[in-house]
Structure 1
Amino acid sequence: MHLPPVLALCAALLLTGCGETSRLPETGVAGSAPQLPAPSTSLIPTVKVAPVEGWSANATPHAAPGMAVTAFARDLDHPRWIVTLPNGDVLVAESNKPANAGEGKKPSLRNWVQGLFMKRAGAAVPSADRITLLRDADRDGVAEVRSVLLQGLVSPFGMALVGDTLFIANADAVVKVPYQTGQTQITATPTKLVDLPAKINHHWTKNLIASADGSKLYVTVGSNSNIGENGLENEEGRAAIWEVDAQTGQHRVFASGLRNPNGLAWEPGSGRLWTVVNERDELGNDLVPDYLTAVEDGAFYGWPWSYFGQHVDERVQPARPDMVAKARVPDYALGAHVAPLGLVIADSSAMAGKFGAGAFIGNHGSWNRKPPSGYKVVFVPFVDGRPQGLPRDVLTGFLSPEGKALGRPVGVALDARGALLVADDVGNAVWRVAPAGR
């Protein structure tokens, strides 16, 4: 994309970090009742991505006091999502955006700058398109067995085992394949259950979780844009969570107005479905807060016309006051631009015994905030099935003192003994966090 001289100059200043604002709170607004600042916009979008450095040999992130972190597995290829199987085996989706992601996007300064910085952030590597099985047979906290379970997928992300069927959320479809407990390689060809919106792939990650009886799948489908600038006709069925019949593939929109939902989890006490959502950009360093929320059947959460309830986004035209009036306020603000992806909710495990009941969240980290936010795993306490208090750090140290990305957390899961597993897609590792000495 060729930029006019004045915009090229502004982009160059952006790249050098000139004009950085005074330091702000690390995550901006957070909690159950955040006080949101006024929005601010500028001609040049704020972009500040941590260049990839990776971990040196034997280096690890930093665990919270009383906890210890070890490498469950290293030398993976962009590990994004984790699922623990009933027998204790761990599945890891090694994946990146599809090769055709971004095709058909309208040319814009925002897309040009974002694409440039995504390359610096390590997001331009080809997708491995596989699921790897990890097994810790001797229970020492390190996976000594590693096997390619399934390959030739399409940017796989979410996974769920229901009986003897493994469901996988590819970027373009939910597929299924037979699986027997203990199997380390699948030779069967996956069959399609349902197509998913894939045009342009502004948000390509698709996650899924099964209902308690296995009859339904809940599937996340992110938006195709920041605020609908690629045309609302390209948002059909997007910015939503689908409910899919696990047998027939028949589906409906379960909840909508969720710009980019990722992690999904059932709250053990109430049985309610929860998700973490990446909100919109370019309204300032402390807007809009990404969030954690319970998801209600038929509920609308505002995107693109409003954010965090009825806060109107004046950039979206024509206005839709009728839609704004329906927008539900999310349960919990996680902070602006922290990019929450991973989510697991625990009530009785080795980790929850240390932290209490609540949600573990993998914050992938900002690309457009000064100073950066996210780049850590946090814990949000729950009381009576709802979040309460401020987030607490569980795993940090993903940014070097010079601001380079040693790693970026994505998916989180509890292993068979209740320890926390964290997929690190920049560090190419899965970390295991457990109480020290255990």
Structure 2
Amino acid sequence: LYAGVGSLSNIGDQGMEAEEGRAAIWRLDLETEQAGIFASGLRNAVGMAWEPSTGTLWTVVNERDGLGDETPPDYLTSVREGGFYGWPYCYWGQTVDDRVPQDPALVARAITPDYALGGHTASLGLCWMPAGTLPGFPDGMVIGQHGSWNRSTLSGYRVIFVPFAGGKPSGPPRDILSGFLSDDEKTAYGRPVGVAIGADGKSLLVADDVGDIIWRVTAA
């Protein structure tokens, strides 16, 4: 069993002792009841999904605040066992956050994520969608973007699809569901979160925690 555990604060504001065991993905062996950190430095790893051709774990991560509208981006990334992804010392690889007391040895280990999703999109839900589930969509990942609150122009508020080839993202994102945000950005009609493939294998289910509804997306 794999579980994402978010950070307590934005950038270790209460010291790293308070963040012990956080900003990480944990792995629990249900037979032996042994648990440990699988990967760390992930500020808020929420949705997780397996890419079936390689058996690799992928996650979407919400990055830190306070550096502007687009810096750093939230991201989709493969997760390496024992990997360190930067938080709180650096972001998007080894870009140092000078607001944080540094640990150069950890910065030198920081892995650059695979795929940027834009700043503060609050990308939360994640699932693998095989080719043929929806017409015109190849293999890829579906992401529920809950939407920003702390940037000058709002972003997210949609469900996107990231195509994959050879076990990696292979192109720009495509909208599956959008139109949840009014033109003047004053009203959110919905905020997508969880995503899952329907039991029929021909539909996508989306949990919307503002509309208080589950959407079902199928062929026209």
Q: TM-score, normalised by structure 1?
A: 0.49
Query: What residue in structure 1 maps to residue 105 of structure 2?
Result: 322
**Cα pair 2:208 2:214 within 8 Å, conserved:** yes
**How do residues 331-346 of structure 1 correspond to structure 2 at under 5 angstroms?**
331-346=114-129
Q: What is the distance in 1 between the residues matched to 2:18 and 2:184?
A: 40
Using the TM superposition, give the Cα deviation of residue 247 of structure 1 relative to its aligned residue in structure 2, in angstroms. Answer: 3.0
**How do residues 255-334 of structure 1 correspond to structure 2 at under 5 angstroms?**
255-317=39-101, 319-334=102-117
Q: What is the distance in 2 between the residues matched to 1:414 and 1:275?
A: 17
Query: What residue in structure 1 maps to residue 137 of structure 2?
Result: 355
Q: What is the distance in 1 between the residues matched to 2:55 and 2:129?
A: 12
Q: What is the distance in 1 between the residues matched to 2:151 and 2:52?
A: 34
The one-letter code sitting in structure 1 at the alignment partner of 2:174 is: R
The one-letter code sitting in structure 2 at the alignment partner of 1:267 is: E
State the Cα deviation string for residues 264-305 of structure 1 (Å, max 9, x = none): 101011111100000001101111100000101000000000
**Cα pair 1:268 1:347 within 8 Å, conserved:** no
Q: What is the distance in 1 between the residues matched to 2:31 and 2:209?
A: 32
**Cα pair 2:58 2:76 within 8 Å, conserved:** yes
**Cα pair 1:358 1:380 within 8 Å, conserved:** yes
Q: 1:379 aligns with which of 161, 169, 184?
A: 161
Query: What residue in structure 1 maps to residue 26 of structure 2?
Result: 242
**Cα pair 2:192 2:208 within 8 Å, conserved:** yes
**Cα pair 2:132 2:138 within 8 Å, conserved:** no
Aligned residue for 2:128, secondary structure, equals strand
Query: What residue in structure 1 maps to residue 190 of structure 2?
Result: 407
Using the TM superposition, give the Cα deviation of residue 412 of structure 1 relative to its aligned residue in structure 2, in angstroms. Answer: 0.2
Query: What residue in structure 1 maps to residue 199 of structure 2?
Result: 416
Q: What is the distance in 2 between the residues matched to 1:243 and 1:354?
A: 35
Query: What residue in structure 2 maps to residue 198 of structure 1?
Result: none
**Cα pair 2:89 2:100 within 8 Å, conserved:** yes
Q: 2:38 aligns with which of 254, 257, 270?
A: 254
The one-letter code sitting in structure 2 at the alignment partner of 1:260 is: N
Q: What is the root-mean-square deviation of aligned Cα atoms in Å?
A: 1.0
Aligned residue for 2:218, secondary structure, equals strand
Query: What residue in structure 1 maps to residue 12 of structure 2?
Result: 228
**How do residues 2-151 of structure 1 correspond to structure 2 at under 5 angstroms?**
none
Query: What residue in structure 2 maps to residue 218 of structure 1?
Result: 2
Aligned residue for 1:243, secondary structure, equals strand
The one-letter code sitting in structure 2 at the alignment partner of 1:408 is: R
The one-letter code sitting in structure 1 at the alignment partner of 2:120 is: H
**Cα pair 1:354 1:435 within 8 Å, conserved:** no
**Cα pair 2:131 2:137 within 8 Å, conserved:** no
Q: 2:146 aligns with which of 364, 374, 382?
A: 364
Q: What is the distance in 2 between the residues matched to 1:427 and 1:247?
A: 39
**Cα pair 1:339 1:365 within 8 Å, conserved:** yes
**Cα pair 1:268 1:346 within 8 Å, conserved:** no
Using the TM superposition, give the Cα deviation of residue 248 of structure 1 relative to its aligned residue in structure 2, in angstroms. Answer: 4.0
Change (3 A) 1:269 1:345: same
Q: What is the count of residue pairs matched by the alignment?
A: 218
* Structure 1: unaligned runs, 5 residues or longer: 1-216
Which structure shows the higher strand fraction? 2
The one-letter code sitting in structure 1 at the alignment partner of 2:46 is: N
Using the TM superposition, give the Cα deviation of residue 349 of structure 1 relative to its aligned residue in structure 2, in angstroms. Answer: 3.9
The higher relative CO (CA closer than 8 Å, separation ≥ 6) is in: 1
The one-letter code sitting in structure 2 at the alignment partner of 1:323 is: L
State the Cα deviation string for residues 376-425 of structure 1 (Å, max 9, x = none): 00001101110022111110011122321111000000001221100000
Which structure shows the higher helix fraction? 1
Q: What is the distance in 1 between the residues matched to 2:181 and 2:67?
A: 24
**Cα pair 1:220 1:241 within 8 Å, conserved:** yes
Using the TM superposition, give the Cα deviation of residue 230 of structure 1 relative to its aligned residue in structure 2, in angstroms. Answer: 2.0
Q: Mark the structure with the bigger radius of gyration.
A: 1
State the Cα deviation string for residues 95-145 of structure 1 (Å, max 9, x = none): xxxxxxxxxxxxxxxxxxxxxxxxxxxxxxxxxxxxxxxxxxxxxxxxxxx
State the Cα deviation string for residues 78-99 of structure 1 (Å, max 9, x = none): xxxxxxxxxxxxxxxxxxxxxx
**Cα pair 1:349 1:417 within 8 Å, conserved:** no
Aligned residue for 1:325, secondary structure, equals helix
Q: What is the distance in 1 between the residues matched to 2:72 and 2:114?
A: 14
The one-letter code sitting in structure 2 at the alignment partner of 1:342 is: G
* Structure 2: unaligned runs, 5 residues or longer: none
Identity %: 60
Aligned residue for 1:393, secondary structure, equals strand
Aligned residue for 2:107, secondary structure, equals helix
